[in-house]
Structure 1
Amino acid sequence: MRWDRFFDDLEDQLASEWEAERAALDSEAERLRLSRVPLRDRLAALIDRDGASAAPSFEMRDGTVLVAEVSGLGADWAALAPATSRSGAVIAPLGGIMSIGMPQPDLLRSARPVGARSSLSERMTLGFALRDLVRRRVAVTLHLVHGRTLAGTIDRAGVDHLDLALHDPGVPRRADEVTGHRIVPFEAIAWVRLEGGATTR
């Protein structure tokens, strides 16, 4: 009887050690997986999240804090839908996001593995998105990293910069309304607010 108890104790001890070792291996595997997760994947997990909790808040490089839902992702940018309905949609370069605040359940969910991603969206760079705004003639406000804003319509978008025709927000892009032009490198842009529909030349 004593030997039976002795072997039972040994088996329990071995099982406990095995579980502890397996938990440690699982933890290490999870740490390794998380070390390879890019910000883009964390943001992808927030698309179509349960809207019952508070919307994430995005602190941008210019100091602005945007409370918004992630509505889409490109290769190096996120589309944000501000929580206030009167605000226009936002294009945020991933490099322009300084921090993201969210409820803990969303934070934990964003760290879980994401499903298959669209290879097409991974190829849509910031330049691609801005060239679409050129085609649509959408008025924008560029929020620059040093805190200044420029309002107007993007006339051209290159690989790393854009040409902006300056005019007042809400005013169509017409030659007599344009007050100047700027070349703006993408790295100077903290975020872009879309101000409305198509404008005319």
Structure 2
Amino acid sequence: MRWDRFFEDLEDQLDSEWEAERAALDSEAERLRLSRVTLRERLRALAAPAGEGDPVLDLVDDTTASGRLAAVGADWVGMQPPGPQTGVVVVPLAAIRAVALAHADLLRSARPVRSRRADRRGLTDRMSLGFVLRDAARRRIPVTARLLGGRTLAGTVDRAGADHLDLALHEHGSARRASEVVGFRMVPFAALASVRLEGRSDVVG
């Protein structure tokens, strides 16, 4: 009986050592995986349903953007504001200073993301900020652009290049007519804290 017990103890010890070694390997593999995860990937995970609340983005112009994460593009996120507000707020990833969210969502965003099918959301992943702004120009959607220094410009995007946009300035809420335009601005994408696409919730997402 003593020998039986001896071998049982050896087996238990071997099992414990194996479990400890596997846990260490899993932990190291998880640390390695997390070291490769980008902010964009974590925000993309938050764009999926089943969250505990809407995230709040602290932006580099000392403002915030809150609401449902409707879409995540190549270098931007689109947020659907809460309540009766209409429109979509497009935020360049470079303009995000911090993200406030529930702890459960924080953990969820760090989990491995399943492979995505080549659906509409997969196409959105590849859309750049310039693509979104060119679409706004094509649709003649009024926008409100917040700049890094805190200034706000209202108007319509006339055209968008590789790294900048041309904005025709006019009164908030009015259409872009020659008689309404009070000036023009060429704005680098790097100077944008956010761009609100007024009155449209179907532009992104």
Q: TM-score, normalised by structure 2?
A: 0.90
Specify which of 139, 142, 145 is matched with residue 139 of structure 1: 142
Residues 24-60 of structure 1 deviation map (CA, whole Å, 9 limit, x = unaligned)? 1001111111111122211111223225x22111111
Query: Which of structure 1's runs of 4+ aligned residues deviate more than 4 A?
Result: none
The 2-side partners of 1:85 and 1:39 are apart by 29
The 1-side partners of 2:128 and 2:184 are apart by 24
Residues 78-129 of structure 1 deviation map (CA, whole Å, 9 limit, x = unaligned)? 1111113225211111111111111111111111122233453333111011
SS in 1 for 2:198: strand
Structure 2 gaps of 5+ residues are: 201-205
Q: Does 1:130 align with 2:133?
A: yes
The 1-side partners of 2:199 and 2:64 are apart by 21
Equivalent positions of 1:16-95 (< 5 A) are: 16-50=16-50, 53-95=52-94
Q: Which amino acid aligns with 2:43?
A: L
Aligned to 1:172: 175
Contact 2:54 2:69 in 1 (8 A): no
Q: Does 1:111 align with 2:110?
A: yes
Contact 1:44 1:114 in 2 (8 A): no
The 2-side partners of 1:154 and 1:58 are apart by 24
Q: Does 1:148 align with 2:147?
A: no
Specify which of 193, 196, 199 is matched with residue 196 of structure 1: 199
Q: Which amino acid aligns with 2:46?
A: L
Aligned-pair distance for 1:7?
A: 1.9
Aligned to 1:12: 12
- What is the identity percentage for the equivalent residue pairs of Structure 1 and Structure 2? 60
Q: TM-score, normalised by structure 1?
A: 0.91
The 2-side partners of 1:54 and 1:70 are apart by 10
Aligned to 2:161: 158
SS in 2 for 1:196: coil
Cα RMSD after superposing both structures: 1.5
